[in-house]
Structure 1
Amino acid sequence: MALIPPSPGANAPRSRSHNRHVILGQIQAAGPMGRAALARSTGLSTQAVSNIIADLETDGLLEPCGARTVGRGLPAMQYQINPGGAFALGIEVRQTAIVGALLDLGGAIQATERVSLTDTAPETILPLVKSLKQRLLASCPQAQHKLLGAGLVMPGPFGATGLSGASADLTGWTDINVQEAFETALDGPVFVQNDANAAAMAERLGGLAQGVQTFGYLYFGSGLGLGLVAHGQLITGAFGNAGELGQIPVMTPDGPRTLENCASRNAVQSHLARAGLPGDDIEQLARHFADGQPALLGWIDGAAAALSQVLPLLENLFDPETILLGGAMPAEIVEAMVARITLPEVSVAHRPDRQYPRLQVGSCGRLTATRGAAALVLSNALSPQFSLSA
């Protein structure tokens, strides 16, 4: 496994902002560290590290957490991220709801709220997002003047493409400058990504993908998306639409269909509706699974068969350390799906020196993309290694 070393610091005075990111990123990744250890790991001088730590303490982003004896000499003061030093807002726009989360600098959720939608037009969503931000901040007063910014995630594709108008697309957003619209509504900087990319970021910063440099995250939203992280950086594509694998054709007993029509929230809802069963929300799906509902179990079999055709292709094209599955789907259904997926031995991923399973269920749960939206902001503050541009 090829690992990418920590991003080095730069001693030039003009690199102050970069070096702050480097120090924060090192501590976030490795836990509490002292000045000497930070100097060794970043290549910065001890004096430069001391100056940066002093600045970050003044800004409330770092805090001392006790001294530790390392080798000879006096105990060295250790520093850690101050969770209450800054906050990030995450907003996820789905076809049927807006979900918001407020995270502290340590990545812990401080407040969440869900707003149901019947209309996804910009003129409906933008005012709702503005009021949602106000309520989340009101519920966490300490975040009022410490908000770093907001992350916004929504289903792709972004812009007018050959996939526009697909079942998971948000009506009315094709010709809208999404970032400008939300920066105006939220009165501040906004990082925009599709939901699968944000979900991958959440797992990278606080889930099973911590420490994993190259992986794929298959995200079950209304449709089906793929977040790709290579050497610690998101792969977004030229226009932010990398990973739109839902339109890949697969063979089913009923003939060729797209993967998204076999394995997504929209797909399971349609399947259950044909059986005369409700399936519009996650709780209903969880109840059907607990009851052993034959229609749902049959859909899981079909979705697993479709994914078994596509995932080996992803492995051979991308060569990931692991692939994670998760999103707005009950964990027990995703686990059952993973148990039924067949991965062939004829794959670059079938190798004896693997450190991680080829396929895993993500650990960040139903709010993965919402948490990932806020994680876009936090990663920008904590590490210079992430590429966040759509």
Structure 2
Amino acid sequence: MQRGIRAVPGANLDGASAHNRRVIFDALRINGALTRAELARATQLTPQTVSNIVENLRRKGLIAADAPRRQGRGQPARPYRILPTGASAIGVQLDRHQMLGVTVDLAGTPLLQCHRPLPPGGPRKGGPALLKMIEELRGAAGGRSKAGAARLLGVGIAMPGPFGTFSHEDPWRMEEWQDFPLVEWLAEKTGLWASVQNDAAAAAIAEKMYGAASGLDNFVHLFIGYGLGVGLVLRGAIYSGAANNAGEIGQVISAAARDRPAEAIEHYVSLLALCRYLDVDPRQSDVIDRLQARFEASDKRLRHWIAMAADHLRHAIHALESLFDPETVVIGGQMPQSILSALIASLDPLLPSVADRRNRLRPRLTIGANGLWSVALGAALQPISHTFDPRFDAITKAVSSS
């Protein structure tokens, strides 16, 4: 019996070799170790193309061969797997008053984590602190040695959105950072490839590569942090929109609001909304632990907030399912795990939508990563995704230029 393998179909086109390398790497990431024959069958590439790519990846130290295994008749075949030490990347979450940084290897395993305060005053005062953290994280990737530099794929930054909009009344917006040319500045100061995503999109990348949505091409990641946002993964890629603001579901006026005028959904469902409801200072470093303690003490106000928040969130999920028809909605964030679990349980029953069909292969809701480091990890995986995830625009360019 042939092994069931998930993989993206490749393209035997001149000029598409970079895409085909990504396809091979992606198949190994999703399925684990595979032989050349399994890779050729799953990706629909010719055996010779697969052999050439596998040898290229092996020479670069990105994959390694395991012991041969017998598959029916003929000589035993060697399976190949991703080599975690083959590359590394850095990710930093900038979040109002703090910086969370992490260095990961090629398998997404954290090598070093740093938690530092973010000085007030925008990039002028916070920039030097950010560079200092990146240098510290760089040490876990081999520092500035020639070998370490060759393996370091870049730095990803995640911060709250939306970007480029006007909302001077909200003190939790990071407008000074959003208006700063952070990508160009980081590339100049560090010499690394750099990118900026909103926190929900960064968390979605983590779920896609090594989380609850691994192997899925179309899903929505509903991220509950200080605000409420969505990471949209459509046809295997993050959809960012025209101004990097796609997925700002928290900015939508709540359909479940009973007060008039109604407010945005994240004013009812977010860590900041919970803190305001309970009169808890959200800037406290131990705010997560404080909220957890109140949940364990069966705080009646907290239980009431969960029920109220679920009503608003239920309508948001209905809208997301109706608009994007995802394989599943992954829910995660930076909330106490017990509160997030209770909130998800309170969503049942979900409102009817196009996702409520008889032949579903996955549940409508999937619990994703939750905790302090989920966004920073997603930011670190962005350079890896940029380097190794299949990009179908590469095929289009190859076809148009051939």
TM-score when normalising by structure 2: 0.87
Aligned to 1:301: 307
* Residue 326 (structure 1) aligned with residue 332 (structure 2): yes
Report what 1:200 is aligned to: 204
Match of 2:175 among 164, 171, 174: 171
- Aligned-pair CA distance for 1:364: 5.2
**CA 1:167 to 1:306, structure 2 compared with 1: closer, same or farther past 3 Å?**
farther
1:132 paired residue number: 133
Give, in whole Å, the separation in 2 of the partners of 1:221 and 1:84: 32
User: Where does 1:164-313 land on structure 2 (aligned, <5 Å)?
Assistant: 166=170, 168-250=172-254, 251-255=256-260, 256-273=262-279, 281-313=287-319
1:66 alignment partner, SS class? coil
Contact 1:275 1:295 in 2 (8 A): no
Match of 1:62? 63
Q: Number of paired residues?
A: 384
Q: Is the 8 A contact 1:232 1:386 kept in 2?
A: no
CA contact (8 A) 1:95 1:120 kept: no
Identity of aligned residues (%): 35
Unaligned runs of 5+ in 1: none
1:8-66 CA distances to partner (integer Å, 9 max, x unpaired)? 04352x33322322221121122111222222333333233222222211211011111
Give 1:279 shift.
8.9
The SS at the match of 1:76 is coil
Q: Which amino acid aligns with 2:153?
A: L
Letter of the structure 2 residue corresponding to residue 291 of structure 1: A
Alignment of 1:46-61 (within 5 A): 46-61=47-62
Tell me what 1:158 maps to.
163
Q: Distance in 2 between matches of 1:383 and 1:303?
A: 36
Tell me the residue number matched to 1:20: 21
Between the aligned partners of 2:136 and 2:282, the Cα distance in structure 1 is 38
1:207–1:313 Cα change, 3 Å: same
Measured against aligned partners, the alpha-carbon deviations of 1:334-358 in whole angstroms (never above 9, x if no partner) come to 1111111244453111112122222
2:160 aligned partner, one-letter code: P
**What is the Cα deviation at residue 309 of structure 1?**
2.4
Contact map agreement 2:23 2:43 (CA 8 A) in 1: yes
The DSSP-based 3-state class of the residue aligned with 2:373 is helix
Q: Distance in 1 between matches of 2:31 and 2:367?
A: 24
Superposed displacement of residue 140, structure 1? 5.2
- TM-superposed deviation, 1:76: 0.7
Counterpart selection for 1:148 from 147, 153, 177: 153
**Which residue in 2 is equivalent to 1:347?**
353
Counterpart residue number, 1:8: 10
On the 8 A contact 2:335/2:370 being kept in 1, the answer is no
Structure 2: gaps (5+ residues): 394-402
Q: What is the CA distance between 1:278 and its match in structure 2?
A: 7.2
Q: Give me the whole-angstrom Cα distance separating, in 2, the residues matched to 1:276 and 1:364.
A: 17
C-alpha separation in 1, matches of 2:238 and 2:169? 25
Q: Which amino acid aligns with 1:54?
A: E
Query: 1:275, CA displacement in angstroms?
Result: 10
Question: Hey, what's the Cα distance between the residues in 2 that align with 1:318 and 1:267?
Answer: 26
Cα gap change, 1:184 to 1:276, in 2 (>3 Å): closer
1:235 Cα shift? 1.5
Question: Does the residue aligned with 1:158 lie in a helix, a strand or coil?
Answer: coil
Q: 1:4 to 1:26 in 2, by over 3 A?
A: closer
Change (3 A) 1:54 1:364: farther
Question: How far 1:112 moved relative to its partner?
Answer: 0.8
Conserved 8 A contact 1:269-1:280: no
Q: Is the 8 A contact 1:21 1:382 kept in 2?
A: yes
Quick one: which amino acid aligns to residue 352 of structure 2?
V
Change (3 A) 1:226 1:168: farther
User: Deviation of residue 382 (structure 1)?
Assistant: 2.5
Between 318-327 and 245-254, report the one with greater CA deviation. 245-254
- Structure 1 stretch 279-288 or stretch 306-315: which is displaced more? 279-288
Q: Distance in 1 between matches of 2:161 and 2:273?
A: 17
**Deviates further, 62-71 or 137-146:** 137-146
Do 1:312 and 1:343's aligned partners in 2 also have CA atoms closer than 8 Å?
no
- What letter matches 1:314 in structure 2? L
Q: Distance in 1 between matches of 2:332 and 2:211?
A: 11
- Can you list the C-alpha shifts for 1:148-188, whole angstroms capped at 9, x where unaligned? 111111111122x2557545421313432231123234331
Q: What does residue 80 of structure 1 align with? A: 81
Structure 2: how far apart are the matches of 1:162 and 1:104? 38
Q: Is the 8 A contact 2:331 2:368 kept in 1?
A: yes
Change in 2 beyond 3 A, CA 1:276/1:49? closer
In 1, Cα distance between equivalents of 2:279 and 2:186: 35
Aligned CA RMSD, in angstroms, stands at 2.7
Structure 1 stretch 274-283 or stretch 311-320: which is displaced more? 274-283
Q: Which residue of 2 is the match for residue 114 of structure 1?
A: 115
Q: Secondary structure at the match of 1:363?
A: strand
Q: Give the superposition deviation at 1:91.
A: 1.0
